Amino acid sequence: MTIPALEQIHRHASVRHYTPEPVSDDLLERIVRAAQAASTSSNLQSWSVVAVRNEATRQHLAELCGGQRHVAAAPLFLAFCADRARLDRACQLAGLSQDASTLESFLVSALDAVIAAQNAALAAESLGLGICYIGGIRNRPLEVIDLLKLPAKVFPIVGMTIGWPARPLRQRPRLPLHSVLHHETYHPIRDEDLLAYDQTMRATGIYKDPEKGWLARSAQRVQNPERPHLAEAIRQQGFALK
């Protein structure tokens, strides 16, 4: 049974508990073909994905991603990467050389990787699989690069666990539409919307500590610099970010 795309999109919930059942090669290829079908800047397709099934590698990745158990538990892990290495070779074949020294080059490839990842997510979900994005792949990027043998100019942007959900999906409500939709010009968020959303999230029962709602959690999350080592790691991998 095929579910209409919009309905499928609105069924999304991250899945962090998986059955041990593997994801077949056929499904993996259908998922990555869907990722390839996404828009890509100038048709450069400057992204790659490393599919990891090996248990020891998943265990290692789980540790590198901040000890996230679902990374080890999911039968399949996809590492979506910005990839300018392929374009180095394409340039050589064309008798030219690539200048990927600006922030824009990195951003274009990172955007390609993320857009591809979201197509993969929707494809996987439409096949009945569950997914969870893993930003934790950027916690210790140089070690991930080493583990996955990523060459220069290939950088891990986001990971994704994929597998068969072991529990019913639990959806997280989103902010009211007008908090994110601005007509013609930008308008600031209204405090009452933030406070109402905080209540909505508390009422879901998702939070183990009901004392802390969405506001306190989000504020805590962003109060310190996020991954301050990242720019240096990206430079080390061959992107100057000028």
Window 180-219: contact mask with ligand FMN (x via CB under 6 A): ----------------------------------------
Q: Binding segment for ligand FMN among 31-39, 134-142, 175-183, 230-238 (CB under 6 A)?
A: 134-142
> Can you list the positions of beta strands (E) in the chain?
47-52, 76-83, 130-134, 154-163
Does 49 engage in binding with ligand FMN (CB under 6 A)? no
Does 68 engage in binding with ligand FMN (CB under 6 A)? yes
What is the phi/psi pair of residue 50, to 5°? Answer: -105, 120
Q: How far is the CB of 135 from ligand FMN (least distance, A)?
A: 3
CA distance 128 to 164: 7
Does 31 engage in binding with ligand FMN (CB under 6 A)? no
Q: How far is the CB of 28 from ligand FMN (least distance, A)?
A: 21
Amino acid symbol at 209: D
Q: Binding segment for ligand FMN among 44-52, 127-135, 211-219, 228-236 (CB under 6 A)?
A: 127-135
> What angle, rounded to 10 degrees, do the helices at 25-36 and 103-126 form?
130
Does 136 engage in binding with ligand FMN (CB under 6 A)? yes
Does 134 engage in binding with ligand FMN (CB under 6 A)? yes
Nearer to ligand FMN, 45 or 118 (CB): 118
Nearer to ligand FMN, 89 or 172 (CB): 172
Q: What residues form DSSP beta bridges with 52?
A: 77
Window 155-174: contact mask with ligand FMN (x via CB under 6 A): ---x-------------x--
In sequence order, what are the residues at sequence separation of 6 or more whose Cβ sits closer than 8 angstroms to the Cβ of residue 59?
72
CA distance 101 to 99: 6
Query: What is the end-to-end Cα distance of the chain in Å, rounded?
Result: 49
Full DSSP string of 5-53: HHHHHHT------B-SPPPPHHHHHHHHHHHHTS--GGG---EEEEEE-
Does 148 engage in binding with ligand FMN (CB under 6 A)? no
Cα distances (angstroms) measured from residue 79 to each of 183, 207, 238: 36, 28, 19
Nearer to ligand FMN, 133 or 164 (CB): 133
User: Residues 133, 166, 194, 215: which binds ligand FMN (CB under 6 A)?
Assistant: 133
Q: Site residues (CB under 6 A) for ligand FMN?
A: 12-14, 16, 68, 132-136, 158, 172
